[in-house]
Amino acid sequence: MFNIIVKLILTMIVSALITPFVRKLAFVLGAVDNPNARRVNKKPMPTMGGLGIFVAFNFAAFVLLRNQFPTHELLALTTAECIIVLTGMIDDIRELSPKLKMLGIVIAGTIVYFLGGIKMNLVVIPFLGTFHLGWLSFPITLFWIMAITNAVNLIDGLDGLATGVSIIGLTTMGIMAFFFLAIPNTYVAVLIFTLVAALIGFLPYNFHPASIFLGDTGALFIGFMISVLSLKGLKNITFVTLVIPVIILGVPITDTVYAMLRRILNKKPISQADKHHLHHRLMQLGLTHRQTVLAIYGLALIFSFVALLYPISSTIGNIALTIVILFGLELFVESIGLIGDDRQPLLRTISRIVKKMGRNER
């Protein structure tokens, strides 16, 4: 264990040392994020920072911790990673269409499914029984990978936001993998913490005021890795193992779901960008750049602490916990106007009930 910890620290150092070189390379290749109406940066910023994370992670996987991981699975995963990183790099340099980016994710997801054997096979639902997915296994697995990858990509809007939220989520996943979930080997937890180490080494350059952005190279890579690593504990899905990753990734998933809902209600294309994401709303309410990032870190920590309660609760307790989380989340979303200031059905219902109770007391 001590040997692994030392190598994880070395991974952090490698990530920290390589990032300045990636920053210079980004300028050379033209991977620069120029200010515009949707951006918060006031000057041109190098992107493609995820390349340093990718290199540090794979250096650790193939050199420092090589004896920890199965060769076949690692090679399949690395091949898929290369597709994702290449897609992100092209987008950072020349800007790909959403369809082409999605194609890159689909190709990478197909590789880990067929070559790596990373997939969902069956679902166990309380009170209903076990359902074998059969031919649905592939599309459901692919949907999971695309959804999580895009969720992380969408939240990458402020300095250090996606990086920090991912560190919190992955750390929780690693704890789950090591102590709670029924995974045959601890190598999954080691792989997760290796990615955490690479992210920690990058964070000082990415936290506000950032000197380099993750770019799509980093956001797609991190999102893809989170989706695949979470699948390692979902081969035979129970209610708990299905809900836990969703709760852990509550921040990016919430932002994505409500962004889609907001655009549907406003009759806008789902892929159309706007400035009404979670971080935008918090800044519009008066928080500074850094305060917004730290507030969302706090929200991510709450989700992670809640996720840790699931393995030690009963089935009824887990269902009740999920209902409470959904209720509290809806209250929070409506209170900050994530869908719109005029769309607050739950708050209005509560307000009417409180007023009615007040009249009855009089």
Of the candidates 54, 53, 56, the one whose C-alpha atom is nearest the C-alpha of residue 64 is 56
More confident residue, 80 or 359: 80
> Above pLDDT 70, what percent of the chain?
88
Together in a domain, 217 and 349: no
pTM: 0.88
Together in a domain, 220 and 325: no
The alpha carbon dihedral of 343, 349, 351, 356 has a sign of positive
Residue range 243-249: average pLDDT?
Answer: 80
Give pLDDT, residue 183: 46
Q: CA dist 315 to 124, 248, 318, Å?
A: 12, 18, 5
Together in a domain, 262 and 362: no
Together in a domain, 34 and 183: yes
Q: What is the pLDDT of residues 299-348, one digit of tens each?
A: 999 988 888 888 788 878 888 888 888 888 888 888 888 877 777 788 88
Q: Strands, DSSP E only, in the chain?
A: 32-33, 45-46, 122-125, 129-132, 236-238
Q: What is the mean pLDDT of the chain?
A: 85
Together in a domain, 361 and 218: no
Together in a domain, 328 and 271: no
Q: What is the pLDDT of residues 110-147, one digit of tens each?
A: 999 998 888 887 776 666 667 777 888 899 899 989 98
The alpha carbon dihedral of 57, 83, 189, 207 has a sign of positive
> Above pLDDT 90, what percent of the chain?
37
Together in a domain, 283 and 336: no
Q: How far apart are CA 136 and CA 118, in angstroms?
A: 14
Together in a domain, 331 and 228: no
Together in a domain, 156 and 272: yes
Number of domains in the chain: 2
Give pLDDT, residue 77: 93
> Domain of 294?
2-310
Mean pLDDT highest for which of 76-90, 261-275, 339-353? 76-90
Structure tokens at 32: 């620069």
Together in a domain, 253 and 338: no
Phi, psi of 125 (to 5 degrees): -110, 130
Give pLDDT, residue 136: 87
Q: What is the pLDDT of residues 81-104, one digit of tens each?
A: 999 999 999 999 988 888 899 999
Q: What is the pLDDT of residues 163-202, one digit of tens each?
A: 999 999 999 888 887 776 554 457 888 899 999 999 999 9
Q: Which residues of 255-286 are buried (b: 16+ CB within 10 A; e: fewer)?
A: bbebbebbbeeeeeeeeeeeebbbbbbbbeee
Q: How far apart are CA 87 and CA 273, in angstroms?
A: 19
